[in-house]
Chains A and B, each alone.
Chain A
Amino acid sequence: MSPLFERQVDKLREGHFLVLYWVARAEDTGHAYNITNAFDDLKAQGITRTKQTAVAMIEALDALDFLRLQGQGNRKHLLITEDGARALERLVHKGAFQPRRSSFLEAQS
């Protein structure tokens, strides 16, 4: 694990962690998780109140190549990359954040 990768992961905040976690869960259960779902869940958890912030978090994860976006507009479907999985693994080992519930995923199950 390169020092740059470690520094990048260490800068991630709880919102980033939750998006990565929810995206992975959605992929695991075979559901498409998009920016609107991520915004709704982040808002429900009190992480942010604006869609701009939610989009900025997702763009940051995309720029770091921790997420991949498929599709068009707000319907873009989010997928976690292998680097994203390693980043999430590191955050879990650090015990930095705790997973929280996703209204979207609960509604699907």
Chain B
Amino acid sequence: MTIGIGGAGSKLSALLDPHNLIINVSEIELEKVRAEEKLLAVLHSEKGQRRGARKNPLLGAEAFASIKVRLMDRIKGELVFASTGGGTGNGICSQILNELAAQKEVPEEERTRFGLLVPYAPQESAEYVKNTIDFLSGPVSRAVDSGNTGNIFLFSNREKYEKRLSEPRFNEQLVASLRNFLDIPARGAALPLLEGHIDYEDFDLYLSRPFFNYFTSFELGGEEDFGSLLARHANPYLLQPDAPIEALFFLELPTGWDPTVFYRVVDHLVRSSAAPIFSVAENPERQRPFITLSLLYSRKPEGLVADFQRIAQTHDEERIRKSVEQQVTLRPQRVDLEQEARKAGQRAGKSEEDVLSVLRRIGKLR
């Protein structure tokens, strides 16, 4: 079962898994998405719940209280989707992360995995970027530090904007990419194994590690260095990884192909200090070796926040520049420096000193 929170989270969960639970603060939004179960988070509103959280995470956080007990039980060991830019996904998910961070220790099999959709900062509104900065620097940072979450997938809207994709098309591609990764144990079980073994338990254990997960898949071609192949076939739906800590790969080989090709991958990962768990299987449908690789990295959320802040600052500077340019003629202002100095002095507490010095001069204050 997957759980989708908010508009974007619900759509992704519906695409990945028909047995899903979606959560929203708006009845209208809940009706729009197909789901096995739907949960309305209650906002105290005198106008009924036809409106969403209006990009305000505080509203989402408030609504979380109404579903806290049910939700915290349901998310155990599941995958939760939410976007970080809006109000509902960000608000409710931040409360989940805070709750997890406050727990003493969450057993591995109960750790929740998160699929977080991060806005593409250069082209999305400053409000989304600000919400994301607050989300990453607060709840995500605390939850990662607590070690009580499973893998966190940081999906990015970049591909959608750069390739000018419609939202349904982008979501389909993103989910197809994720499904290819999540299907590793199923494919491993269906195909004849040549080397290694990743069963459902191994895979689950990997998903319960409290790190960011980056995955990608591509054909292993020619003699090209594996590192440059990996860089060339970066997953466009995920934020780029930092130095990996752990790795997992599933290599599918055409019938009769030399299975030792997997050493190229292992060598590269060992050089990056991330000895992998892996599985090599024979897939007669493949014409060339095909690898699905995942890297776990613990990039500090501060790094991500710094990226977003840099972009948010550029946005602000651009906005200020535009508004200055629109004010074509700026009238000169007459400034009485003496008066300004007096005001500044008063603001800095000089008036306080003035009053007391008057009292001392007249001998009333000793």
Contacts and interface: CB of A to CB of B under 8 A. Distances in A.
A complexed with B: yes
Interface of A: 21, 24-25, 27-28, 80-82, 84-86, 88-89, 92-93, 95, 98-99
12 contacts: A24-B359, A27-B362, A28-B362, A82-B366, A84-B364, A85-B362, A85-B365, A88-B359, A89-B365, A92-B355, A93-B352, A98-B351
The 10 closest A-B pairs by CB, nearest first: A85-B364, A85-B365, A85-B359, A28-B358, A27-B362, A92-B355, A24-B358, A92-B352, A82-B364, A28-B362
Contacts of B66: none
A38 to B, nearest CB: 17
B105 interface: no
B354 interface: yes
Contact of A80 (B346, B352, B356, B362): B362
A66 to B, nearest CB: 11
B31 to A, nearest CB: 54
Interface string B191-207: 00000000000000000
A84 B356 CA distance: 12
Contact of B364 (A25, A81, A98, A99): A81
Given A81-B364, A89-B365, A99 B351 contact: yes
A84 B355 CA distance: 13
Name which of A25, A85, A88, A93 has the most chain B CB atoms within 10 A of its CB.
Answer: A85
B366 to A, nearest CB: 8
Interface size class of B (residues with CB under 8 A): 10 to 19
B359 to A, nearest CB: 5
Interface in B318-366: 346, 351-352, 354-356, 358-359, 361-362, 364-366
A21 B355 contact: yes
Contacts of B352: 92-93, 95
Interface of B: 346, 351-352, 354-356, 358-359, 361-362, 364-366
Contact of B355 (A82, A86, A99): A99
Contacts of A89: 355-356, 359, 365
Nearest to A100: B351
Contacts of B362: 24, 27-28, 80, 85
A81 B364 CA distance: 7
Nearest to A24: B358
A98 B355 CA distance: 10
Contacts of A25: 358
Given A28-B361, A80-B362, A98 B346 contact: yes
Contact of A92 (B346, B356, B361, B366): B356
Contacts of B365: 82, 85-86, 89
Contacts of A27: 362
B364 A80 contact: yes
A18 B75 CA distance: 62
A92 B356 CA distance: 8
Contacts of A80: 359, 362, 364
Nearest to A85: B364
Nearest to A82: B364
Nearest to A25: B358
A64 to B, nearest CB: 15
A92 B359 CA distance: 11
Given A82-B365, A86-B365, A99-B354, 9 more contacts: A21-B355, A24-B355, A24-B358, A24-B359, A25-B358, A85-B362, A85-B364, A89-B355, A98-B346
A48 to B, nearest CB: 21
Nearest to B357: A28
Nearest to A30: B362
Contacts of A81: 364
A93 B365 CA distance: 14
Nearest to A99: B351
